[in-house]
């Protein structure tokens, strides 16, 4: 892996990132909720990019990983602006977005803002609008009055918090109820044994995207993370479709 560098946002907060220089499009990996660039999928794609001579950008959202900030202040809008700031400052040319879980929601917001620079998107168990379908009416009511909720975390010892600021901001970024103005090629990967994000979410997302070049691949025995060797190999193969030539 390359050395971690830090990008300074206009308000002074520092966002950790790793950048591999190479041929485009530049792959930008967007982690899931409370995840960071040290995860298995991000690491595998970065190492593949270095081997193949491709450009790749990883980052930690503010309040996550090695970036500054408090996770309680994190929102989709805030993290979108961080991603766009890094892309604008440290990359050029077309961009390939790869979004995992919540990162699949965030990639829609980033993709809309990138406009003509957007070369493609790959969603991994993409979870747009999860503040609607992922919470009960009671949980949503608690968040709406400004209180934090906590849920059991199958991936770690501490419960997973959802803060009211994130919830309020997310309600302004709902995507599945209308047409998403994105026209690039999109491939959505989803495990049918996903216990966190129903696989039907990717089917709904495919219908909402304006693009006519949208594919959905359902992995019958796949879980939410899709991080087995076979899953990583499939992801690498999907990424490779966006590159006509690679460095041997």
Catalytic residue among 35, 100, 224, 231: 224
Choose the catalytic residue: 101, 169, 190, 208. 101
DSSP the chain: -PPPEEEEPTTS-EEEEEEE--EEEEEEEE--TT--TTSHHHHHHHHHHHHHTEEEEEE--TTSTTS-S-GGG--HHHHHHHHHHHHHHH--S-EEEEEETHHHHHHHHHHHHHGGGEEEEEEES--TTHHHHSS-HHHHHHHHTT--EEE--TTSSSPEEE-HHHHHHHTT---TTS-B---S-EEEEEETT-SSS-THHHHHHHHHB--S-EEEEEETT--SS--SHHHHHHHHHHHHTT-S----
Q: Is 229 a catalytic residue?
A: no
Marked catalytic residue, from 129, 194, 202, 208: 194
Catalytic-residue membership of 224: yes
Active site annotation includes 194: yes
- Indicate which residues carry an active-site annotation: 101, 194, 224
């Amino acid at each position: 892996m390359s050395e971690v560098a830090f990008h300074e946002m206009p308000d002074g907060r520092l966002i950790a990132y790793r950048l591999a220089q190479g041929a485009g499009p530049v792959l930008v990996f967007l982690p899931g909720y409370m995840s960071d660039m040290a995860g298995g999928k991000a690491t595998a794609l970065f190492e593949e990019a270095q081997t193949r001579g491709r450009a790749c950008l990883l980052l930690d959202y503010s309040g996550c990983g090695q970036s500054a900030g408090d996770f309680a202040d994190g929102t989709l809008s805030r993290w979108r602006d961080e991603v766009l700031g890094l892309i604008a400052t440290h990359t050029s040319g077309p961009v390939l977005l790869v979004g995992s879980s919540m990162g699949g929601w965030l990639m829609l917001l980033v993709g809309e803002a990138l406009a003509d620079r957007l070369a493609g998107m790959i969603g991994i168990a993409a979870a747009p609008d999860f503040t609607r379908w992922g919470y009960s009416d009671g949980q949503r009511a608690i968040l709406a009055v400004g209180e934090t909720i906590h849920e059991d975390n199958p991936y770690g010892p501490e419960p997973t918090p959802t803060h009211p600021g994130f919830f309020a901001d997310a309600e302004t970024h709902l995507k599945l109820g209308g047409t998403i103005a994105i026209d690039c090629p999109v491939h959505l990967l989803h495990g049918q044994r996903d216990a966190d994000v129903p696989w039907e979410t990717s089917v709904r997302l495919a219908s909402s995207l304006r693009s006519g070049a949208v594919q959905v691949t359902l992995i019958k025995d796949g879980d939410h993370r899709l991080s087995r060797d076979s899953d990583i190999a499939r992801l690498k193969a999907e990424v490779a479709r966006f590159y006509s030539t690679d460095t041997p």
